Structure 1
Amino acid sequence: MTSLEFDRISVRYGQSTVLDDVSLIVPDGEVVGLVGESGSGKSTLARAAVGLAPLSGGRILLDGAPMRHRGRRRPVQMVFQDPFSSLDPRMTIGASIAEAMPDLRTRGARRTEIARLLELVHLGPSRAGHLPGQLSGGQRQRVALARALAGRPRVVIADEITSALDVSVQGAVLNLVREMQRDLGLSMLFISHNLAVVRYVATQVAVMQDGRIVEQGLTADVLERPQHDYTRQLLAAIPGGAR
């Protein structure tokens, strides 16, 4: 894995500024949480990192070098909020994962790697022959994580990956994220509007409001001793608080 740096990123669409001079670092082997209300610019920053939102200013760096989106292998992989929309309903789970592999190699090697990835996300290899519609929402999100890892990324961006799931399923997916970070040394930008979720998985947190980072630091420091009014408002909006 490696570090991902957003260096004074701006994104504009016409006269509308969606991101304004955003700087943020995802250190090697850490999970950084990005929080904010809907429309704050979180997902636009994620899309910029994978080349889906054009930059109006600034740079995106991997280990200090400008990131390039070329060829089959992508150094940053993204897991989207809705796992069903990110998977082809006509492709089997195994075929979908294989499609994301940078080098197809032999058929036997592909089967072995698909089985390894499915076991990594706690789905049995027998699921490889299933279609997305035969799986639950939580299982599809696990497949989406396996598919992202199949691309051998240097950084994974998870964009609201638990918000579409039942509360009972969210915990299992969050535990999986923590396990992956521990076992793989995963570098991840974890985007969520839920401060309690971010507190559970992230070592650092950044708070975004109206396209700007208004506060960032160690998760415990930011959530227990918030310095910005907007962070305090987000905390106050959570029943029982996130502390």
Structure 2
Amino acid sequence: MSELRIEDLVVRYGHGAHAHIAVDGVSLTVPDGEIVGLVGESGSGKSTIARATVGLTPIAGGRILLDGEDAPHRGRRPVQMVFQDPQSSLDPRMSIGRSIAEALPRSVPRAQRRTEIERLLDLVHLDPSRRDARPGELSGGQRQRVAIARALAARPDVVVADEITSALDVSVQGAVLNLVRELQRELGLSMLFISHNLAVVRYVASSVAVMRGGRIVEHGPVDRVLESPEHPYTRELLAAVPDPIWSPA
């Protein structure tokens, strides 16, 4: 994996008097092999950062770097994104095996593709024999596992996970979070993990940045930020966190 560095990022929608600055001079680093959390309420700019990082949203200023070099957004995409809703991110007409195969690098020989698809399904704890299943035959948690496998199929340097548990039933959120932690340990995964839920971020991330109004208002080790928050907005977010029903193991 690699280090992702965001420097003075600006994202602007619209022009002139009607322009809206969604991200205003944000700098953030995801160190090699670590999970960094990014939290904030809806409209804070965190998902805009996710989309800009993978090249889905144009930037008005700043840079996005991988190991010190500009991240390419053409050809091989070294930053892969897992979206919030797995139902909309997977083609319902396509088998899950074919969806994963589409993301494999061209360098993987055709004869080895089935083995690689089965390896990826096993990696996310799905039965490889279900490679011919359609997304509609799977549960929400299983579809999100397929989406994670598809992102990993591209052999990315960094993964961006945008609210990947918020569309899931509470009863399965913990299992997906456990999978994220497991992949981080086994693969040395570098990940920007985006959520509005501080309890979720605390479980998976080593550090956290708090966003409000397009800017980062607090950033530091996750335990320090959540146990001794310095910014009033961070304290507001903490006060709004319900006790999780799930209990990750």
Interval of TM-score (by shorter of Structure 1 and Structure 2): over 0.9
In 1, Cα distance between the equivalents of 2:62 and 2:230? Answer: 26
Q: Which residue of 1 aligns with 2:224?
A: 221
Q: Write the deviation string for residues 127-155 of structure 1: whole angstroms up to 9, x where unpaired.
A: 10100000000000000000000000000
Q: Which residue of 2 aligns with 1:212?
A: 215
1:143 paired to 2:146: yes
In 2, Cα distance between the equivalents of 1:79 and 1:39? Answer: 19
- Please tell me the root mean square deviation across aligned C-alpha atoms, in Å: 1.0
Q: CA deviation at 1:108?
A: 2.9
Q: Report 1:121-200 matches (<5 A).
A: 121-200=124-203
The letter of the residue matching 1:96 is: S
Q: Write the deviation string for residues 5-55 of structure 1: whole angstroms up to 9, x where unpaired.
A: 110000011211000000000000000000000000000000000111111
1:234 paired to 2:237: yes
1:8, 1:57 within 8 Å by CA — same for their partners in 2? yes
In 1, Cα distance between the equivalents of 2:217 and 2:20? Answer: 19
Structure 1, unpaired ranges of 5+: none
In 1, Cα distance between the equivalents of 2:181 and 2:198? Answer: 16
1:202 paired to 2:205: yes
The letter of the residue matching 1:57 is: G
- In 2 relative to 1, CA 143–240 (structure 1 residues): closer, same or farther, beyond 3 Å? closer
The letter of the residue matching 1:92 is: S
The letter of the residue matching 1:40 is: S
Q: CA deviation at 1:233?
A: 0.6
User: 4+ runs of 1 displaced by more than 4 Å?
Assistant: none
**SS of the residue aligned with 2:87?**
coil
Q: Which residue of 2 aligns with 1:27?
A: 31
The letter of the residue matching 1:56 is: A
Q: CA deviation at 1:102?
A: 1.2
The TM-score, its normalising length taken from structure 1, stands at: 0.97
The letter of the residue matching 2:66 is: L
The letter of the residue matching 1:4 is: L
Q: Which residue of 2 aligns with 1:57?
A: 61
The letter of the residue matching 2:200 is: V
Q: Which residue of 1 aligns with 2:119?
A: 116
1:9, 1:20 within 8 Å by CA — same for their partners in 2? yes
**SS of the residue aligned with 1:85?**
helix
Q: Report 1:3-14 matches (<5 A).
A: 3-14=3-14
Q: Which residue of 2 aligns with 1:38?
A: 42
**SS of the residue aligned with 2:88?**
coil
The letter of the residue matching 2:34 is: E
1:79, 1:145 within 8 Å by CA — same for their partners in 2? yes
1:104, 1:110 within 8 Å by CA — same for their partners in 2? no
Q: CA deviation at 1:240?
A: 5.2
The letter of the residue matching 2:35 is: V
Count of residues in correspondence between the two structures: 240
The TM-score, its normalising length taken from structure 2, stands at: 0.95
One of 75, 78, 83 as aligned partner of 1:80: 83
**SS of the residue aligned with 1:84?**
helix
> Quick check: 178-187 or 106-115, which moved more?
106-115
Q: CA deviation at 1:193?
A: 0.2
Structure 2, unpaired ranges of 5+: 245-249
Q: CA deviation at 1:107?
A: 3.3
Q: CA deviation at 1:105?
A: 3.6
In 1, Cα distance between the equivalents of 2:90 and 2:78? Answer: 20
